[in-house]
Amino acid sequence: MAAEERRAGDVKLTDRELVFKYGYPAMEVPFSIGEYKVRLRMVQAAMAERGIDVLLAMAPESMFYLSGYQNEWYQAQSPKDWIPWSGVAVHVDRDDFILFDNLGEAILCRFQTVATDARFFDRKSASPIESIVNELKGDGWLPGTVALEMRSYRPNRIVSEKYQAAFEDAGCTVVDGTDIMRDVRLIKSPLELAYMESAARIADIGLQAARDTIEAGVTELEVYGEIIRAMAKAGGENPGITLPVLSGLKSTNGHALASRKQILPGEMVFVDVCGVYNRYHVNIARNFSVGEPHLEVQEKFDKAAGVFDIITDILKPRMEVEVLNDAVQSYYEEVGIWEDRGYIGGYELGISFPPDWVGEFNYGPHVPSEGQFFRPGMVVNHESQFFMPLNVGYHMQIDSLIFTENEARLMGTTPRELMVVGS
């Protein structure tokens, strides 16, 4: 704001004070106010079923789901006196939530949340834990049964125990409420599913960039960089897990990091990406061969990848999880590769922030699943992992499955074949 445009009463304000008084960037939240209100009511219903009066949600995914809040820094591994205090408090029968944060994030909360009741504290003059408890007491939300997300990495154990002690000192009973948000987030709305369709498109773009870049002599990091560039250009965001680009024998550990290792002729390369759109993740992984593969490698690859034809044939809305598990295992046993498996199965996808994109719901032949169904609104991945012959690498094919009221299908369009690239 130019000096001549300042109001007469503001001439003595500093630039910092002017920003905090008038700084309102354009809104950047992905859903309507109405959708956030529906979410709040669903969370409150889940709280009521569990006998919980107040939920303090501090996991990044929970805060985003309830309010649109997102930040690059969540104080997860910060100095011990920088205690995390951004969080969303929900009362089981109040009309709105309360967003708490550090004063330094006040501008962010004006354009990246739909919060109408945001309360900020100056780290220099206030204890975050005491401040939050006192605010909730002052509003008549306490005492009662308070739920904390105890299985979230944020806040860490020591800080979480301090929050618990402060609530207990205020006369509250403190319980674990992690499953409240995770259960509610499992079933996606139509708009959430639309965002996940966009994420799938972005993942395919990333895999095409990998296909265009992989050749003998380039490094895994070079391929990684081109994937990120292509997805960002297409509107993709940073994923919850660093994307692996792994080549040769190194790839048999699917959780290694891309490095300065050069990709060699004859190696298999696997690339595991999540496209991300408005923090919604869709997971697709494919394999590449640097030069024509050995016949033995090609034959085993085709057997492993053939499971996706089986899955495509049997997918339907509301299908039993056991049906998918049994079909997958039976196929692998029939083609004679079951004993060379790695991980077979999958997990829920949706909202994620670093350091993870793996959701709560998971399934596979090794997971008890009696009576479980893939419900409309669910998105999960499916992973097919097998050790390949001749030490050339690892078969790692992943696709994501979307279930709606009327259909169930795989989301990726990148070919599920061993793609041969330049040697």
**Domain map (residue ranges) of the chain:** 3-185, 190-421
Contact 223, 231 (CB under 8 A): no
d(CA 410, CA 395): 19
Task: Determine the pLDDT at residue 2.
Answer: 52
Exposure on the CB side of residue 171, measured as CA atoms within 13 A: 8
Give phi and psi for 315, each to the nearest 5. -60, 135
Give 276-296 pLDDT, tens digit per residue. Answer: 999 999 999 999 999 999 999
Q: What are phi and psi of 112, to 5 degrees?
A: -120, 25
pLDDT at 304: 98
Would you say 347 and 362 are in contact if contact means Cβ atoms under 8 Å apart? yes
Instruction: Provide the pLDDT for residue 411.
Output: 99
Residues of the chain with pLDDT under 70: 1-9, 423
Domain 190-421 CATH class label: alpha beta
Q: Do the Cβ atoms of 237 and 279 come closer than 8 Å?
A: yes
Check if the beta carbon of residue 295 is closer than 8 Å to that of residue 415: no
In tens, the pLDDT along 30-64 reads: 999 999 999 999 999 999 999 999 999 999 999 99
**Would you tell me how many other CB atoms lie within 10 Å of the CB of residue 108?**
18
What confidence score (pLDDT) does residue 1 get? 47
For residue 16, the one-letter residue type is R
- The residues, any chain, with a CB within 8 Å of residue 345's CB and separated by 6 or more, are 325, 362, 363, 364, 365, 366, 367, 382, 383
Q: What is the pLDDT of residues 138-174, one digit of tens each?
A: 999 999 999 999 999 999 999 999 999 999 999 999 9
Q: What CA–CA distance (Å, rounded) separates 174 from 178?
A: 12
Q: What architecture does CATH give domain 3-185? A: 3-Layer(aba) Sandwich (3.40)
Q: Measure the CA–CA gap between 374 and 67, rounded to whole angstroms.
A: 27
